[in-house]
Amino acid sequence: MIVEALKELGITNDFAVDADVETEEHYKRSFKDISGENRFIEWPEVKSKMDELQADYDAKQYQRDRKYPDLGEQFDLLFKDINEGTLDKTGGFYTAIKSVKEAHPKPSE
Amino acid sequence: MSGILKVGGSELINDNGGSGALQWGTGIPANTIINQKFYTTTSQPTITSNNNFASFSTPFKTTITGTKSNSKFLIIVSMTVSSSSVGDAHIYGRLRDNTNSNATIGTEGSDGLFGDWLASNAYSGGVRLNHTELYTPSSHSGGDLEIEVLMKQNGAVTTLLNRRSNDNFYQRFSSTLTILEIAG
């Protein structure tokens, strides 16, 4: 998450940093400004951005957990619903998608 | 009591002037493996370097000690990398001799030494990147020899060692760097 945090804070030139940084000491030890053109961002600002990105990542966990049927299967379900006149909330397509969403609801739902 | 083991006039082993520590002599048959260094790491350094070979934040390197001046070195790289890129990103590798004037090892083409590898954050795992190189230093006085892996990307993306990008909870790997010293 620290790489993304640094990029969002404007570190756009070449740099290196350990991906598992969790402390100021580790950050200062591992951050290398390869290009020599980046400004050094102090740890509190970096940590704050990391926490913000982590919170956003965690909030979208439900999206990553939702494993929908593959597209071929979804099209097949749609075809069957159309063919059988069940392209509504009783059909296979709707039921399949709804079951995935219900298994992994959006936190605010 | 000091001693030297010779065969047909060639000194195979001596005890370092009586210290008791056995070491290879000057008459070792060529192409004999006489020394090794195995380095493994699960650290998770990164490089964000657009078309410029650079060190990882925690350098991926190792040092073989007690080498001889006329040896060859078989370097075996096995590393797991990924990229911050959602699509395929091209990544390239270089081996550097940090002991002898930061010499670039091997003959590089337009794709560096390791070739053109594709990595992505979208893959279900990291890419296992392998390369083996037989290195004969143009000048080496013996003793320590430090070898380092450098990497670069084609584009402003990040290469990660031993983990996937943007993912704190799973898919962690290990990488190894092995050096075998071979008598010249």
Task: Say yes or no: A70 and A30 in one domain.
Answer: no
Higher pLDDT, A108 or A47: A47
Question: Does residue A32 sit at the B interface (CB-CB below 8 Å)?
Answer: yes
Report the number of distinct structural domains present in chain A: 2
CB of B165 within 8 Å of any CB in chain A?
A: yes
Residue A87 lies in a domain: yes
Rounded Cα distance, B2 and A86, in Å? 95
**Residue spans of alpha helices (H) in B69-158:** none
- A1 or B152, which is more confident: B152
Q: Do B49 and A32 touch (CB under 8 A)?
A: no
Cβ pairs A/B, distance under 8 A = 62
Q: What is the ipTM of this complex?
A: 0.73
Going residue by residue through chain B, which has 184 residues, state the pLDDT in tens, using 9 for 90 and above. 678 999 999 999 999 888 878 989 889 999 999 999 999 999 999 999 988 999 999 999 999 999 999 999 999 999 999 888 877 789 999 999 999 999 999 999 999 999 998 887 765 567 899 999 999 999 999 999 999 999 998 888 899 999 887 665 567 889 999 999 999 8
Residue A45 lies in a domain: yes
The amino acid present at A100, given as its one-letter code, is V
**Residue % of chain A over a pLDDT of 70:** 99
Structural domain span for residue A39? 2-59
Whether residue A14 is found in the same domain as residue A38: yes
Using CA coordinates, name the residue in chain A closest to B165.
Answer: A1
Indicate if the pLDDT at residue A19 is higher than 70: yes
- Residue A109 belongs to some domain of the structure: no
Copy the structure tokens of residue A7: 């990029």
The structure tokens listed for A108 are 């605010």
* Shared domain check, A40 and A11: yes
Is A3 close to B49, i.e. CB distance below 8 A? no
Report the chain A residue with the minimal C-alpha distance to residue B161.
A19
The partner residue sitting opposite B54, judged by closest CB among A3, A4, A14, is A14
Q: For residue A47, what is the enclosing H or E element?
A: helix A43-59
Asked if B161 contacts B46 with a C-beta cutoff of 8 angstroms, the reply is: yes
| Whether residue A24 is found in the same domain as residue A43 | yes
User: Does residue A108 lie within any of the structural domains?
Assistant: no
Q: Kindly state whether residues A70 and A47 are assigned to the same domain.
A: no
* Same domain as A46, residue A20: yes
If we measure between CA atoms, which residue out of A34, A67, A24 comes closest to residue B156? Answer: A34
Using a CB–CB cutoff of 8 Å, tell me whether A34 touches chain B.
yes
